[in-house]
Amino acid sequence: MYLEDRELVEKAKSAPEAFTALFDRHFQRTYRLVYSRVQNESLAQELTARVFLQAQKLIKVYRHSGSFRSWLRALTLITLARLGHPIHRRRGPGAGDDWQSVGCPAPLRPTRPTRSAAVALPLPPVDDGPGIAYALGRPV
């Protein structure tokens, strides 16, 4: 007999052993999400276990405003962020270093201004007015 996530969540709220069915159904997807962020098998297993422990604690406050799957995904990303792990997917063979991998889109903005961008910026006018001389406390 196949139960919908909504029904399983309601059962898991009253009986913690019913959470096992949700765990079995969503483990692979959650593990793949975590692994795509951390790129380490043992760390991904540990973090996935943490996510499901957190989900089991918070299942009582879950409201059916969206799907359980999206709630679990959000919980996974929040857990990763709180533990200091990246929440954006790491792609390509050189994803760990600072060089852009082949096939990855270019960043939207450079990390620091380039020389051409600095030259194009207008400089503020120099104020030679009396306010500067008096701010120093003596005439120049």
Q: Kindly list the distances between the CA atom of residue 17 and the CA atoms of 1, 9, 89, 94, in Å, as whole numbers in the listed order.
A: 17, 11, 33, 42
Domain boundaries, the chain: 5-82
Question: Over the stretch 110-126, which tens digit does the pLDDT of each residue have?
Answer: 444 445 444 454 555 55
* pLDDT of 31 above 90: yes
Query: Distance between CA 21 and CA 19 in Å, rounded?
Result: 5
Which band of pLDDT confidence, cut at 50, 70 and 90, is reported for residue 63? Answer: confident
Query: Distance between CA 68 and CA 8 in Å, rounded?
Result: 10
**Which pLDDT value is given to residue 2?**
55
pTM of the model as a whole: 0.62
CATH topology of domain 5-82: Rna Polymerase Sigma Factor; Chain: A (1.10.1740)
Which residue is it, tokens 């063979």? 93
The distance in angstroms from the start CA to the end CA of the chain is 91
